[in-house]
Chain A
Amino acid sequence: MKEGRLIKKFDLNKLLIYFLLIITAILIILPILFIFINSFKGIVDFTKNVFGLPHEIQFGNYSVAWEQGNFFRLISNSLIITIISVAALIFLGALASYPIARKKLFGGNFIYVLFLSGLMIPPQVIAIPLFILEKKLGLLNTLPGLIFVYIAAQLPITVFIFVGFMRGIPVEIEEASHIDGCSNIGTFWRIIFPLVKPAIATVSILGSLNIWNDFFYPLILINTKENMTVTLGLFAFRSFFRVTFTNLFAYMSSMIIPMIILYLVLQKFIIKGMTAGAVKG
């Protein structure tokens, strides 16, 4: 009897969890689906039939979005910024995290806390000094100017993930490599770096999402059409032309594709990276 009751309770919990997960999934997926479906409608079809499927599939919205929105130029800007920033984040973040996580470093904890404190600074607070600094350095309106800012802004969370993950690697593996003949740098590149693949995947996806979706920094640091990112481009596309929602939806659908592809490629590492960092860190 008692055992039966326990099983029943367990099932009920599971049911509740699934129910909540499904609701959350619907809340997230529905707007994306809405944007995607409506990007194939004509404007008349859209105004008459907002929530239904298109009566006739039209690709015209995409050609308008891509041509008038200067989409390919902007998406290549976003890709360049994201790829270079994330690569630098992985390289610098892993290098910075290794001594913090694994070496008896004087002031190591202080440096770690200093990194983490970066998580608590809202971008709006540093907007004006950042603008002045970039202007003085001649980086305003340039892609490198944005890349530097993104590296600095994302480094705290990157270090947090890497340190948590590296602390979970048994110290004996590192010692074995020293005995086998590796120097500190050799141990880092040959042993530690390959072992933090899940953390690299997590940093890649988190960093890419944050950088790709960011609107604030391009808004204050970029004001030429050629150097805009895709998110700022969306804003400009809305402002420069009369708002045609279906065109806007086509633009949005196109700009989320790289992130969906990235997530699909790296998703198997994500959970591993998150939990390893969280539990063992």
Chain B
Amino acid sequence: MARVVLKDLLKKFDEVIAVNKINTVIEDQEFVVLVGPSGCGKTTTLRMIAGLEEITEGEIYIGDRKVNDVPPKDRDIAMVFQNYALYPHMNVYDNMAFGLKLRKTPRLEIEKRVNETAKILAIGELLKRKPKQLSGGQRQRVALGRAIVRNPKVFLMDEPLSNLDAKLRVQMRTEIAKLHKRLNATIVYVTHDQTEAMTMADRIIIMKDGLVQQIGKPQDVYDHPVNIFVAGFIGSPAMNFLDVTVTDKDTLKHKNFEIDTPEKIKKVIKDNNIAGKEVVMGIRPEDLEDSAFVSDVKSSNTIRANVEVTEPMGSEIYIYLDVDGVLVTARVNPRSQAKFGEPLSLFVDLDKIHLFNKETELALI
């Protein structure tokens, strides 16, 4: 295993900058997820690490070796593709053994490694089958097996679960996480699904328009997003954003409500000198609750709005409310009596409020 270093990594397609000066170190045995919306440059970054895409500027190191000009076959990496990319004319065994055969590994050693890997992935029964005779989940396992069997320094995974159905995706998610622990592998994983990023990663790299927005542990990124984009991208349902004005009394005033602020926000207001200015208030859906289930309800910690939609999920209810034209989502107690079209009083957990600069969109807290 080895660490991967990306230094000022830049990729241009003609005049379009796809990846803009990425700098990061992926530590040995770390599971790093590159996440972001379509076109953010995450797959291009992965492909540059793999050697499938030329680097415009910058440097990539795998271990201690600079690999800018090293062809993919000599980088000692393995890649799992979104569409599996199994060789259709070979059976499962040959698919898995192909890379080892090319590296002139002795036949008995190949047999041993393929069989061991097949056992780990529970595909021992499928070794004689061709890819077209396998289900999506089985193909995914074979693709993983083909990577594992080579025992590479770094695993690269490009949205490997996005072609699977929801149930299988959850199952494979845990299996990949287990595999990471078992193999002690360095894994770089690309996805657009923030749930996958949150559940599997040791660290997340969030990208947008070719730029890294934030790098951090999943919970840190969730709790302390650096800007509005990250705050809105990480978390499902997404964080709510409302334009508010900071008053001289350090309250947050909106057309529909005026709420108090805790000490830490008062300090932020003072440090940034934003009294009297407009800011963006962010609050996660789980930090809003139907006031009927909270004892400490005051006008200074509630928002009142009309219910637009309710989605009972069993263990909770998602309520969508219209706050002066902005749809606000709340995850509330499943016994809430909120009804479509009726006003609802929502309790706001003031300690969980996020504030963002309206112009720069950067977090103030």
Q: How far, in whole Å, are A177 and B85 apart by their CA atoms in the complex?
A: 9
The interface bits of chain B over 47-81 (1 if a CB of A lies within 8 angstroms of the residue's CB, else 0) are 00011100000000000000000011100011101
Q: Are B89 and A176 in contact (CB under 8 A)?
A: no
Quick check: A176 and B73 within 8 Å, CB to CB?
no
State whether B81 touches A176 (Cβ < 8 A): yes
Let me know if B89 and A175 touch, CB within 8 A: no
Partner of B52, one of A178, A180, A186, A190: A178
Any B CB within 8 A of the CB of A173: yes
A residues in contact with B83, CB < 8 Å:
170, 172
Whether A173 pairs with B87 at a CB distance below 8 angstroms is: yes
**B85 & A175 in contact (Cβ 8 Å cutoff):** yes
State the Cβ distance, B83 to closest chain A Cβ, in Å: 6
| Beta-carbon contact of B99 and A173 below 8 Å | no
A181 interface residue (CB < 8 Å to B): yes
User: Which residues from 21 to 40 on chain A have a C-beta closer than 8 Å to any C-beta of chain B?
Assistant: none
In contact, B73 and A195 (Cβ under 8 angstroms): no
Determine if A191 is an interface residue (Cβ-Cβ < 8 Å): yes
Which residues of A in the span 137-185 have a Cβ within 8 Å of any Cβ on B? 170, 172-173, 175-183
Are B52 and A175 interface neighbours, CB within 8 A? yes
Cα-based distance from A190 to B98 in the complex (angstroms) = 10
Q: How far is the CA of A175 from the CA of B81 in the complex (A)?
A: 9
Contact check, A179 vs B89: say whether CB atoms are below 8 A apart.
no
CB distance from B147 to the nearest CB of A (A): 9
| Contact A181–B52 (Cβ < 8 Å) | no
A107 at the binding interface (Cβ < 8 Å): no
Number of interface residues of B (CB under 8 A): 23
Q: Which residues of chain B come closer than 8 Å to A4, judged between CB atoms?
A: none
Judge whether A178 and B85 touch: CB under 8 Å: no
A194 at the interface (CB under 8 A from B): yes
A176, A183, A190, A197, most chain B CB atoms within 10 A: A176
Chain B neighbourhood of A190, CB < 8 A: 98
The one of A170, A173, A180, A195 that contacts B102, using a Cβ cutoff of 8 Å:
A180
Rounded to whole Å, the gap between the CB of A197 and the closest CB of chain B is 8
User: Chain A contact residues (Cβ within 8 angstroms of B): what range?
Assistant: 10 to 19
B102 touches A181 (CB 8 A): yes
Nearest-CB distance from B88 to chain A (Å)? 6
Question: Chain A's nearest CB lies how many Å from the CB of B227?
Answer: 34
**CB-based contact A181/B103 at 8 Å:** yes
Among B77, B87, B88, B103, point to the contact of A179 (Cβ < 8 A). Answer: B77
Are B72 and A178 in contact (CB-based, < 8 A)?
Answer: yes
- Chain A nearest CB: distance from B25 CB in Å? 23
Q: In the bound complex, what is the Cα–Cα distance between A170 and B81 (angstroms)?
A: 11
Report the Cα distance A191→B86, complex, angstroms: 10
CB-nearest residue of chain A to B143: A176
* Least CB distance, B80 to chain A, in whole angstroms: 9
Q: Which of A177, A180, A186 neighbours the largest number of chain B CB atoms within 10 Å of its CB?
A: A180
CB-CB contacts below 8 Å: B194-226 with A: none
B196 CB → nearest A CB, Å? 20
Q: How far is the CA of A182 from the CA of B78 in the complex (A)?
A: 13
Contact indicator per residue, chain A 177-207, by CB within 8 Å of chain B (1) or not (0): 1111111001000110011010000000000
User: Is B99's CB under 8 angstroms from A180's CB?
Assistant: yes
Inter-chain CA distance A172–B52, complex, in Å, is 10
Given contacts A180-B102, A182-B102, contact A173 B85 (CB under 8 A): yes
Asked if B99 and A181 sit within 8 Å, CB to CB, the answer is: yes
B102 lies within 8 A of A176 (CB):
no
Contact with B along A106-128 (1 / 0, CB 8 A): 00000000000000000000000
Residues of A within 8 A of B87 (CB): 173, 176-177, 191
Whole-angstrom CA separation of A8 from B103 in the bound complex:
62
Complex CA distance for A177 and B87, rounded to whole angstroms: 9
**Contact for B89 among A182, A183, A195, CB less than 8 A:** A195
Minimum Cβ distance to chain B for residue A81 (Å): 31
B72 CB to closest chain A CB (Å) equals 5
Contacts of A194 in B (CB 8 A): 89
Q: Which residue of A lies closest to B150 (CB)?
A: A180
- Residue of A170, A186, A195 near B85 (CB, 8 A) is A170
Contacts of A179 in B (CB 8 A): 50-52, 72-73, 77-79, 99
A166 to chain B minimum Cβ distance, whole angstroms, is 14
- Which listed residue (A176, A183, A186, A191) contacts B79, Cβ 8 A? A176
Chain B residues with Cβ below 8 Å from A170 are 83, 85
A186–B102 CB distance below 8 A? yes
Q: Could you say which residues of chain A place their CB within 8 Å of the CB of B98?
A: 177, 180, 190
Q: A117 CB to closest chain B CB, in angstroms?
A: 30
Contacts of A172 in B (CB 8 A): 81-83, 85
Whole-angstrom CA separation of A152 from B205 in the bound complex: 55
User: When chains A and B are docked, how far (Å) is the Cα of A172 from the Cα of B99?
Assistant: 15
In the bound complex, what is the Cα–Cα distance between A94 and B82 (angstroms)?
28
A176 with B85: in contact, given A181-B73, A181-B102, A186-B102 (CB under 8 Å)?
yes
Which A residues are CB-close (under 8 A) to B78?
Answer: 179
A177 to B79, CA, bound (A): 10
23 contacts between A and B (CB under 8 A): A172-B83, A173-B87, A175-B50, A175-B81, A175-B85, A176-B86, A176-B87, A177-B87, A178-B51, A178-B52, A178-B71, A178-B72, A179-B52, A179-B73, A179-B79, A179-B99, A180-B150, A181-B99, A181-B103, A183-B73, A190-B98, A191-B87, A197-B89
Binding site for B on A (CB under 8 A): 170, 172-173, 175-183, 186, 190-191, 194-195, 197
Which 9 residue pairs spanning A and B have beta carbons closest together? A181-B102, A172-B85, A180-B99, A176-B85, A181-B73, A172-B81, A194-B89, A178-B72, A179-B72
12 further contact pairs, Cβ within 8 A, besides A172-B81, A176-B87, A180-B99: A170-B83, A172-B82, A175-B52, A175-B79, A175-B81, A176-B86, A177-B98, A178-B73, A179-B73, A180-B73, A180-B146, A180-B150
